[in-house]
Amino acid sequence: MKEDFMHSLGHLALAARFKRISDAMIHSGRQMYKSLGWDIEPNWYLVFCLLEEKGARTVTQMADDLGYTHPSMVNMIKKMQLAGYVEAVSDEQDGRKQWVKLTEKSTQHLPEFHRLWNGGISWAEELLPPETGFLELLSKLETQLKERDFKDRTLDRFHDEK
Amino acid sequence: MKEDFMHSLGHLALAARFKRISDAMIHSGRQMYKSLGWDIEPNWYLVFCLLEEKGARTVTQMADDLGYTHPSMVNMIKKMQLAGYVEAVSDEQDGRKQWVKLTEKSTQHLPEFHRLWNGGISWAEELLPPETGFLELLSKLETQLKERDFKDRTLDRFHDEK
DNA sequence: TATATTTGCGTAGTCAACTACATAAATAAT
DNA sequence: ATTATTTATGTAGTTGACTACGCAAATATA
């Protein structure tokens, strides 16, 4: 087993390790869908689950729900629409709004999709069970960063110790 | 406090949350350097620390040390070289190898850089102290994903439950 | 010794997030 | 009623990771 230099950096390398892990999982997820011959992409599950729970939703609402910027949402939805998984319907009162909703194709495939996703969930749950408190620590981190971002928190300490 | 839809997805949204956090920290880090008027970028600290510890290193070695692909390393080093923080010296025996090492500019600025990084570290250590086992859980996750990737682990479970 | 393979580095093109800007509809203000 | 602001969506360009490919030097094999 080779030692990992990033690990030796401890808390310093936190962001880089998060990125490395998420990149690896997302890339692996893409390969997974490809190997199954499914025409969906990593992260689309966020939209699928969101629309399953909340029904029709506008682009801006979805961006807000998921914590993405709206241009990211637009790109994602555009692709899902092209693949036939969602459709957009203009609001009758408000000409700006586009209500995005799942199509027939989605409702057909979602049970199978969920079976796959459950495979991933069960692995993650075994590795990081509730008693480890991992997800709560992640939430704490996210909450703190939302309240006052990494830059400001770091600069505070930097200037204090001057 | 608004509830976060991703949190409601539990272990399903793990990769997306890792990505969201790292993106936020990296972006915030970039703003931080800009606000200080420093001409360095997020993630360069990995190279700085690596070269401080190991001295001169080739591109391929560094990619291996840090777990990046070599083209990523090439891009990073190219920029650091342009900014004057590293220099590349050709190996005398082996004409392919480029030994990358820190410049005078680096040794001048690194003490100040470390003071800043320590600010970030102290925040992260307070939030995720050793007794939470957070870094160990992260390492466990990385180790498992390296042994057998996310796709294969998920597909195993998917096919087993058929 | 000639040829094939491996190794180190580099380039080109892809991808999903971002910021900044643009546009058009709805709403508020004068 | 006109004008200004806000809101919803869309477009363009940047970023840092990736894969795939190319090339030249070193090494192994025939």
Please write the tens of the pLDDT for every residue from B22-44. 988 988 898 899 889 899 999 99
Alpha-carbon gap: B76 to the closest alpha carbon of chain A (Å)? 14
CB atoms within 10 A of CB A102: 19
Q: With 60 as the cut, is the pLDDT of residue A68 above it?
A: yes
Q: Find tokens 């199509």 and name the residue.
A: A103
Cβ contact A35–B134 (<8 Å): no
Phi, psi (degrees; rounded to nearest 5) at A39: -95, 45
Where along chain B do its domains lie?
1-37, 40-102
CA-closest candidate to residue A140, choices B28, B126, B43: B126
Whether residues B9 and A139 touch (CB distance < 8 A) is answered with: no
pLDDT in tens, A85-98: 999 999 888 988 99
Among A10, A37, A12, A43, smallest CA distance to A25 is for: A43
Q: Which two tokens stand for residue B116?
A: 């800043």
- Report how many Cβ contacts below 8 Å link chain A to chain B: 218
Residue whose pair of structure tokens reads 């749950």 in the numeric block: A125
A151 and B28 within 8 Å at the Cβ level: the answer is yes
- Residue B75's pLDDT is what? 94
Are A77 and A86 in contact by the 8 Å Cβ rule? The answer is yes
In A37-69, which residue ranges form alpha helices assigned H by DSSP? 44-54, 59-66
Searching chain A, which residue's CA lies closest to the CA of residue B43? A16
pLDDT at residue A162 above 70? no
Question: For helices A70-82 and A59-66, what crossing angle results, to 10°?
Answer: 120
Residue labelled with tokens 């990358």: B100
pLDDT at A3: 72
Which residue from A154, A77, A94 is spatially nearest to B29, judged by alpha carbons? Answer: A154
Which residues of chain A does B124 touch, with a Cβ-Cβ cutoff of 8 Å?
Answer: 11-12, 14
8 Å CB contact between A50 and A57? yes
The pLDDT of residue B1 is above 50: no
- Across chain A, what does the average pLDDT equal? 91
Residue B160 pLDDT greater than 90, yes or no? no
User: How much is the pLDDT for A102?
Assistant: 96
What is the 8-class DSSP label of residue B98? E
CB contact under 8 A, A19 and B20: no
Question: Nearest 10 degrees: CA dihedral of B54, B57, B63, B65?
Answer: -20
A135 contacts on B by Cβ (under 8 Å): 7, 10-11
What is the nearest CA distance from A104 to chain B, expressed in angstroms?
Answer: 23
Mean pLDDT of chain B: 91
Residue A21 CA distance to nucleotide D28 C1' (Å)? 37
Q: Which CATH number fits domain A5-129: 1.10.10.10, 3.20.20.70, 1.10.8.100, 3.40.50.2300?
A: 1.10.10.10
CA of B148 to C1' of D18 (A): 19
Which residues are B86's β-sheet partners?
Answer: B102
> CA A54 to CA A9: how far, in whole Å?
42
The CATH number of the structural domain formed by B40-102 is 1.10.10.10
The pLDDT-based confidence of A76 (bands split at 50, 70, 90) is: very high
pLDDT at B162: 61
Average pLDDT of span B7-15: 92
Asked if residue A1 has pLDDT above 80, the reply is: no
Residue at shortest CA–C1' distance from D16: B72
Nearest to B137 among A16, A117, A132 (CB): A132
CA-CA distance, A151 to A51, in Å (whole number)? 34
Name the nearest CA neighbour of A99 among A56, A47, A66, A61.
A56
CA distance A131 to A24: 25
Residue range A101-158, pLDDT digits in tens:
999 999 999 999 999 999 999 999 999 999 999 999 999 999 888 888 899 999 999 9
Q: For the purposes of burial, counting CB atoms within 10 Å of the CB of B74, is it exposed (0-12), middle (13-18) or buried (19 or more)?
A: middle
Contact state of A138 with B66 under an 8 Å Cβ cutoff: no
Structure confidence at residue B148 (pLDDT)? 87
For position A149, what pLDDT does the model report? 86
Q: How far is B119 from chain A (nearest CA, A)?
A: 5
H helices then E strands: how many in chain A? Answer: 8, 3
Write out the H or E segment, with its range, that includes residue B102.
Answer: strand B98-102
Q: What is the DSSP letter of B148?
A: S
